[in-house]
Amino acid sequence: MLTYFRLFFDICLFRQPAENVPKSETLLLLTLGTAIASGAFNALADYRMSGALFMAAIQVLLFALMIWIALRLRGHQERWIQTTTGIYGAITILQIITIPLSSWHSRLMSPDISGVVLTLPLLTIAGISIWTLAVTASVLRQAMQIPISAAVLIIIGSQALLLMIVFKVITSVGY
Three-class SS state of 174: coil
Domain that holds residue 158: 17-106+116-173
Q: Is residue 12 part of a domain?
A: no
Q: Is residue 125 part of a domain?
A: yes
Q: Running DSSP on this structure, what letter comes out for residue 69? A: H
Q: Report how far residue 144's alpha carbon sits from residue 81's, in angstroms, rounded to the nearest whole number.
A: 13
> What dihedral angle (degrees, nearest 10) is formed by the CA atoms of 88, 89, 90, 93?
120
Three-class SS state of 74: coil
CB 82 within 8 A of CB 19: yes
Q: Is residue 163 part of a domain?
A: yes
Per-residue pLDDT band for 96 (boundaries 50, 70, 90) equals very high
Tell me what the mean pLDDT of segment 169-173 comes to. Answer: 72
Three-class SS state of 17: coil
CB 153 within 8 A of CB 133: no
Angle subtended at Cα 142 by Cα 43 and Cα 62, rounded to the nearest 5 degrees? 35
Q: Is residue 34 part of a domain?
A: yes
Out of 5-9, 12-16, 42-46, 57-61, pick the least confident. 42-46
Q: Is residue 8 part of a domain?
A: no
> What dihedral angle (degrees, nearest 10) is formed by the CA atoms of 39, 138, 141, 143?
-70
pTM metric for this prediction: 0.88
89 or 112, higher pLDDT:
89
Q: Is residue 151 part of a domain?
A: yes
CB 155 within 8 A of CB 118: no
Residues 6 or more apart from 5 whose CB is under 8 A from it? Answer: 93
Q: What are the tens digits of pLDDT across the range 140-151?
A: 999 999 999 999
Average pLDDT of the chain, as a whole number: 90
CB atoms within 10 A of CB 153: 13
Res 175: pLDDT:
56
Q: Is residue 1 part of a domain?
A: no
Share of the chain above pLDDT 90, in %: 66
Q: What are the tens digits of pLDDT across the range 50-80?
A: 888 988 998 899 999 999 999 999 999 999 9
> What dihedral angle (degrees, nearest 10) is formed by the CA atoms of 88, 150, 164, 97?
40
Res 174: pLDDT:
62
Domain count, the chain: 1
Q: Is residue 66 part of a domain?
A: yes
